[in-house]
Chains A and B, each alone.
Chain A
Amino acid sequence: MEDKRQWPLYEVFVRARGGLDHKHVGSLHASDARMAIDHARDLYTRRQEGVSIWVVPSKAIVASDPTETDSLFEPARDKIYRHPTFYEIPDEVKTL
């Protein structure tokens, strides 16, 4: 059952400036998406943090199961060959 005494939770994503991607900045309560945008504007962009806001109902987010951390993420640990670290990089290349 949804708790009617409290507004639903939304996750907030803010784009700091054009060209960057939206970053998760926090969450808030709002009765609907439009109010969530207003609240996000008031809570998370009052110090010029952004130029664009996304809000997503928190219940729409599907998260990985913390109890499965071992099987999901551990196996990647010893596969260092998946990192592109075995190349000789010429001195002339400054940024890669």
Chain B
Amino acid sequence: MNAAVPQAGSEALFRYVLRLGDLSLVLGQRLSEWVGHSPALEEDLGLANIALDLIGQARLLLSYAGEIEGRGRDEDKLAFLREQGAYFNAILAEQPNGDFGQTIVRQVLIDAFQLELYERLAASSDERLAAIAAKSVKEVRYHLRYSSDWLIRLGDGTAESHARAQAALDLLWPYTVELFTEDELDRLMCDNGIAPRLHEVHSAWSARLDAILAESTLKRPADRPHAWHGKRGQHSEHLGYILAEMQYLQRTYPDARW
């Protein structure tokens, strides 16, 4: 048996679970910035529901990460007391909301990724991850229904909404490459049956996106090489601002309760 099988106390498994949890946490925090600012009351609640689902997933994943680490850090400590460099989300999640179209494009790209990933993670050799994925995949399926419906409305809508949706897609597409770029950690997880092959996730994601984009009458941008490594803790300038707002209370009033 491989000597490097990730298990309790494993740094590799800890980091991998944080990658998943941080993606949901940062995206959930971003989405919640819409609360009170959405184009309609109905969308305000729709986006807030999705944000809450994502933060719920992050809670499960961060709690699990804390248990794997075994140094007494719980979900709150991991969420509110880690520095930017110890966050391992792909940087697509931290990109600004922009206009409603930009938020929807970011959401479609990540929803489709999470859907394909969680469907496969539900068969993970890690029982805890499999259970979290099986629970989350139902939520994510609705998220993608919501976001892709909107993308189709915007893309196949007016000249203005089409132009904005296409601009957002062109802006955010390059960041998707990082989601599917397999590094040593991803490979280690695959080799141990914990995570699926990212190129499999990518081809399923790609087919899904092609169908949504065709219906949206939007043009799929070309993939380009990139140098982003959010998954290794190297982030864009945006994450610092997100964490400043998210962590302010815990850092100013440690262990505050309400």
A38 nearest CB neighbor, chain B only: B146
Q: How far is the CB of B209 from chain A (nearest CB, A)?
A: 20
Contact with B along A7-50 (1 / 0, CB 8 A): 10000000000000000000011110011001101110010000
Is the beta-carbon distance between B153 and A28 smaller than 8 angstroms?
A: no
Q: Taking each of B40, B42, B149, which has the highest tally of chain A beta carbons within 10 Å of its own beta carbon?
A: B42
Instruction: Please name all residues of chain B whose beta carbon is closer than 8 Å to the beta carbon of A7 when the two chains form the complex.
Output: 40
B49 contacts A by Cβ under 8 Å: yes
B146 nearest CB neighbor, chain A only: A38
Chain B binding surface, main DSSP class: helix
Is the beta-carbon distance between B42 and A29 smaller than 8 angstroms?
A: yes
Instruction: Please name all residues of chain A whose beta carbon is closer than 8 Å to the beta carbon of B149 when the two chains form the complex.
Output: 34-35, 38
Is the beta-carbon distance between B45 and A43 smaller than 8 angstroms?
A: yes
Contact with A along B3-44 (1 / 0, CB 8 A): 000000000000000000000000000000000000011100
Contact with A along B82-111 (1 / 0, CB 8 A): 000000000000000000000000000000
Is the beta-carbon distance between B40 and A29 smaller than 8 angstroms?
A: yes
Is the beta-carbon distance between B153 and A39 smaller than 8 angstroms?
A: no
B145 contacts A by Cβ under 8 Å: yes
Instruction: Please name all residues of chain A whose beta carbon is closer than 8 Å to the beta carbon of B142 when the two chains form the complex.
Output: 41
Is the beta-carbon distance between B42 and A30 smaller than 8 angstroms?
A: yes
Instruction: Please name all residues of chain B whose beta carbon is closer than 8 Å to the beta carbon of A41 when the two chains form the complex.
Output: 142
Q: How many residues of A contact B (CB 8 A)?
A: 13
B50 nearest CB neighbor, chain A only: A42
Contact with A along B133-177 (1 / 0, CB 8 A): 000000000100110010001000000000000000000000000
Is the beta-carbon distance between B40 and A38 smaller than 8 angstroms?
A: no
Instruction: Please name all residues of chain A whose beta carbon is closer than 8 Å to the beta carbon of B153 when the two chains form the complex.
Output: 31, 35
Q: How far is the CA of A46 from the CA of B49 in the complex (A)?
A: 8
Instruction: Please name all residues of chain A whose beta carbon is closer than 8 Å to the beta carbon of B40 when the two chains form the complex.
Output: 7, 29
B142 nearest CB neighbor, chain A only: A41
Instruction: Please name all residues of chain B whose beta carbon is closer than 8 Å to the beta carbon of A35 when the two chains form the complex.
Output: 149, 153
B70 contacts A by Cβ under 8 Å: no
Q: How far is the CA of A39 from the CA of B48 in the complex (A)?
A: 12
Q: How far is the CA of A30 from the CA of B153 in the complex (A)?
A: 12
Instruction: Please name all residues of chain A whose beta carbon is closer than 8 Å to the beta carbon of B146 when the two chains form the complex.
Output: 38
Q: How far is the CA of A93 from the CA of B63 in the complex (A)?
A: 56
Is the beta-carbon distance between B49 and A39 smaller than 8 angstroms?
A: no
Beyond A38-B146, A46-B45, 12 additional contacts (C-beta under 8 Å) are: A7-B40, A29-B40, A30-B42, A34-B149, A35-B153, A38-B145, A39-B42, A39-B45, A41-B142, A42-B46, A42-B49, A46-B49
